[in-house]
């Protein structure tokens, strides 16, 4: 399975990748992008199965990224890893087609809970 991690913070991308390994998903292929626009470029050339994206990013934020993907017919799993996990934000994410929203700070357990059904299947 191919996993794309999209976040404007290189450090946060590294933390997400480390947490994926700690959660037992280290054998999946991964790529990174620094914002939604760059993420779209990776999607076009690499076709990931799962996208884990920050919400707040420059150029194209996570919600705009999700909307662009859905407009193009992306059918993979998409979720947010964000510092803001309000009920309204989660509702907006799900209405727009996100499959999950993981709030920072997160743990390997939170990744297993949200990603396990897909990555273990």
Domains of the chain: 2-114 (3.40.50.2300)
CA R_g for the chain: 13
| In the predicted structure, residue 108 carries a pLDDT above the cut 90 | yes
Q: Which helix (H) or strand (E) holds 14?
A: helix 10-22
Question: Residues 10-35: what's their mean pLDDT?
Answer: 96
Residue 98: the pLDDT is 96
Nearest to 19 by CA among 100, 94, 102, 118: 102
pTM: 0.96
């Amino acid at each position: 399975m191919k996993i794309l991690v999209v976040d404007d913070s290189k450090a946060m991308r590294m933390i997400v990748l480390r947490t994926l390994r700690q959660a037992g998903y280290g054998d999946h292929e991964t790529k990174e992008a620094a914002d939604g626009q760059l993420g779209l470029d990776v999607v076009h050339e690499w076709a990931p199965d799962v996208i884990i994206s920050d919400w707040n990013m420059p150029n194209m934020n996570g919600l705009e990224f999700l909307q662009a993907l859905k407009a193009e017919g992306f059918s993979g799993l998409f979720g947010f890893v964000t510092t803001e996990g309000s009920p309204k934000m989660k509702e907006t994410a799900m209405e727009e087609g996100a499959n999950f929203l993981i709030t920072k700070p997160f743990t390997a357990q939170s990744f297993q809970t949200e990603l396990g059904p897909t990555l273990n299947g």
